[in-house]
């Protein structure tokens, strides 16, 4: 989906336990997830957020891990086996043009897009597809890295979200990130 996709080797750094010191995935996700939820993790890479999400949603929950790169998903699968949560994950390879999540229409309780939207050339498609997958009033957390994304670019991201059926309900504090908590509106403007 991107003009500059994160290389697989960088995925090892993104999944590093050291990262938890300033971006703890369990603490970030805990306010939004509960047992039994169905979650999508857009740009899941090697599962820094997917694996903790799978632990939170429990045996009756599901985390759909979406990534453009098959090698990222293969590494995620190995890490999920080790963490004993593979049965709670669904590994989903998307294309450069689409997340290809239309089979999840009105089924998803929560969506996460962490440090990935800046890699996507057409945010309208992403937000439109995620909006269709989410249940009414479900939430989406977006976070973009301060070092890669300017205030102006982030404002453009938020405008794309609003144009595709989301409203901004908050800006959670997450280290090193520009954030927004979005909610699927009942109707698209």
Q: Give the pair of three-digit tokens for residue 100.
A: 């290809």
| Pair 89, 40 in one domain | yes
Per-residue pLDDT averaged across 178-187, rounded? 91
What pLDDT score was predicted for residue 2? 41
Per-residue pLDDT tens for 55-96? 999 999 999 999 998 998 999 999 999 999 999 999 999 988
CA distance linking residue 139 with residue 119, whole number of Å: 21
| Pair 81, 121 in one domain | no
What percentage of the chain reaches a pLDDT higher than 70?
87
Environment class of residue 8 by beta-carbon count within 10 Å: exposed (0-12), middle (13-18) or buried (19+)? middle
pLDDT at 15 over 90: no
Tell me phi and psi for residue 181, to 5 degrees: -100, 120
Angle at the Cα of 177 from the Cα atoms of 9 and 33, rounded to 5 degrees: 90
| Pair 59, 121 in one domain | no
Note whether residue 148 is domain-resident.
yes
Note whether residue 108 is domain-resident.
no
- Residue 34's pLDDT band (cuts 50, 70, 90): very high
| Pair 120, 189 in one domain | yes
| Pair 121, 174 in one domain | yes
Q: Which residues pair with 141 in a beta bridge?
A: 112, 181
Note whether residue 17 is domain-resident.
no
Note whether residue 162 is domain-resident.
yes
CA distance linking residue 155 with residue 82, whole number of Å: 39
Per-residue pLDDT tens for 90-135? 999 998 889 999 999 999 999 999 999 988 889 999 999 999 999 9
Per-residue pLDDT averaged across 6-35, rounded? 73
| Pair 51, 86 in one domain | yes
What pLDDT score was predicted for residue 1? 34
- Counting the structural domains of the chain, the total is 2
User: What is the largest distance, in Å, between two alpha-carbon atoms of the chain?
Assistant: 44
pLDDT at 168 over 90: yes
| Pair 140, 178 in one domain | yes
pLDDT at 14 over 50: yes
Note whether residue 134 is domain-resident.
yes
The CATH number of residue 151's host domain is: 3.40.50.150
| Pair 189, 127 in one domain | yes
What pLDDT score was predicted for residue 130? 98
Residue 108 CB coordination number (10 Å) = 23
Residue-range definition of the domain harbouring residue 39? 33-94
């Amino acid at each position: 989906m991107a003009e500059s996709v994160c290389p697989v080797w960088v995925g090892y750094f993104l999944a590093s336990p050291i990262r938890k010191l300033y971006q703890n995935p369990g603490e970030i996700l805990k306010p939004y997830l509960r047992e039994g939820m169905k979650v999508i993790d857009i740009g899941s890479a090697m599962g820094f957020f997917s694996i903790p999400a799978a632990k939170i949603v429990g045996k009756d929950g599901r985390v759909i891990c979406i990534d453009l790169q098959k090698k990222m998903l293969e590494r995620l699968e190995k890490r999920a086996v080790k963490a004993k949560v593979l049965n709670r994950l669904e590994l989903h390879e998307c294309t450069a043009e689409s997340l290809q999540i239309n089979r999840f229409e009105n089924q998803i309780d929560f969506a996460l897009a962490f440090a990935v939207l800046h890699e996507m050339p057409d945010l309208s498609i992403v937000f439109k597809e995620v909006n269709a997958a989410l249940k009414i009033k479900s939430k989406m957390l977006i976070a973009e890295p301060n070092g890669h994304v300017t205030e102006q670019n982030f404002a453009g991201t938020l405008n794309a979200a609003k144009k595709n059926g989301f409203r901004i309900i908050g800006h959670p504090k997450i280290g090193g990130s520009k954030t927004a908590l979005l909610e699927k509106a009942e109707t698209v403007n």
